[in-house]
């Protein structure tokens, strides 16, 4: 069944009311969802860095083991060359063996120097790991507190929010694609994502810009979809001036 412009505007007002209610719920939650997401990302980053630090620590310990193996290999070679040195009969061979002995002794000194450097790096890395673990504990606690806070807020509004989403689905089911697209486009481009306004005291209720009498008449007739030339909102109705005066008097 084809809807009249008046019916379409009525549906737009209903949809706008639902979206405003959903926005109010989001406002109650405030920045909590973003804060939780930020803390989750920060925690994941700390965990990744801690894992990397622990891998570096293992690599440093493996490097020490490799240097100790090199020292043992060099000590074996030194012992072998020293035994061979006892049976050398000419100076040329003696010089060659002596050179090999010196090289292996230098290798041992270098390995010992490397081991010392690795131990210094290990101590530094262990201190960094401990600091990061403290930071991790604090971050986990902060995240848990914010998650509980957000959970409490969500639990207080989840039923209402689900009802509103279901109501929204029912409303937009009757929309034609072009009208729904127009509505969603306007929502993305206006403050607080509220795409529908009314004329109140000869002005757009969304941006408070005064509208021309001809435009106000077109809105009253509800024969065409009218948008505010200033903010782009769809103007769906004209407020009753008598009700406006009553509201002002009782305010």
pLDDT in tens, 160-201: 999 999 999 999 988 888 889 999 999 998 877 789 999 999
User: How far, CA to CA in Å, does 202 sit from each of 69, 208, 218?
Assistant: 90, 9, 13
Which helix (H) or strand (E) covers residue 203, if one does? strand 203-204
How confident is the model at residue 246, as a pLDDT? Answer: 43
Residue 244 C-alpha from the chain's centroid: 45
Residue 249 pLDDT: 32
Cβ-proximal residues to 133 (8 Å cutoff; 6+ apart), any chain? 50
According to DSSP, the β-strands at 203-204 and 234-238 are unpaired
Q: Check: CB of residue 222 under 8 Å from CB of residue 5.
A: yes
Residue 26: predicted pLDDT: 84
The predicted pLDDT at position 86 comes to: 84
Rounded to whole angstroms, what are the CA distances from 187 to 94, 181, 231? 92, 10, 11
Nearest Cα neighbor of 53 from 110, 132, 171 is 132
Residue 247: its pLDDT value, please?
A: 42
Give the chain's residues under pLDDT 50.
Answer: 245-251
Q: What's residue 191's pLDDT?
A: 79
Structure token digits, residue 196: 């529908």
> Residues, the chain, total?
251
Pairing verdict, β 234-238 and 196-200 = parallel
Cβ atoms < 10 Å from Cβ of 215: 18
């Amino acid at each position: 069944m084809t809807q009249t412009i008046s019916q379409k505007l009525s549906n737009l007002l209903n949809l706008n009311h639902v979206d405003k209610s959903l926005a109010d719920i989001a406002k109650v939650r405030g920045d909590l969802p973003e804060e939780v997401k930020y803390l989750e990302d920060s925690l994941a980053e700390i965990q990744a860095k801690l894992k990397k630090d622990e891998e570096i620590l293992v690599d440093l310990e493996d490097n020490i083991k490799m240097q100790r193996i090199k020292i043992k290999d060099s000590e074996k070679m030194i012992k072998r060359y020293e035994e061979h040195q006892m049976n050398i009969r000419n100076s040329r061979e003696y010089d060659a063996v002596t050179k090999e002995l010196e090289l292996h002794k230098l290798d041992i000194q270098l390995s010992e120097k490397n081991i010392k450097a690795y131990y210094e790096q290990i101590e530094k890395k262990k201190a960094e790991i401990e600091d990061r673990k403290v930071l991790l504990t604090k971050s986990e606690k902060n995240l848990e507190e914010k998650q509980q806070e957000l959970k409490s807020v969500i639990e207080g509004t989840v039923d209402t929010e689900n009802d509103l989403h279901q109501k929204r689905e029912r409303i937009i089911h009757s929309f034609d694609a072009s009208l729904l697209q127009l509505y969603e486009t306007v929502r993305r481009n206006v403050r607080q994502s509220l795409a529908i306004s009314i004329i109140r005291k000869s002005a757009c209720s969304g941006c408070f810009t005064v509208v021309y009498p001809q435009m106000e008449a077109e809105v009253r007739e509800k024969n065409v979809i009218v948008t505010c030339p200033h903010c782009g909102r769809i103007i769906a109705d004209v407020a009753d001036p008598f009700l406006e005066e009553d509201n002002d008097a009782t305010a």
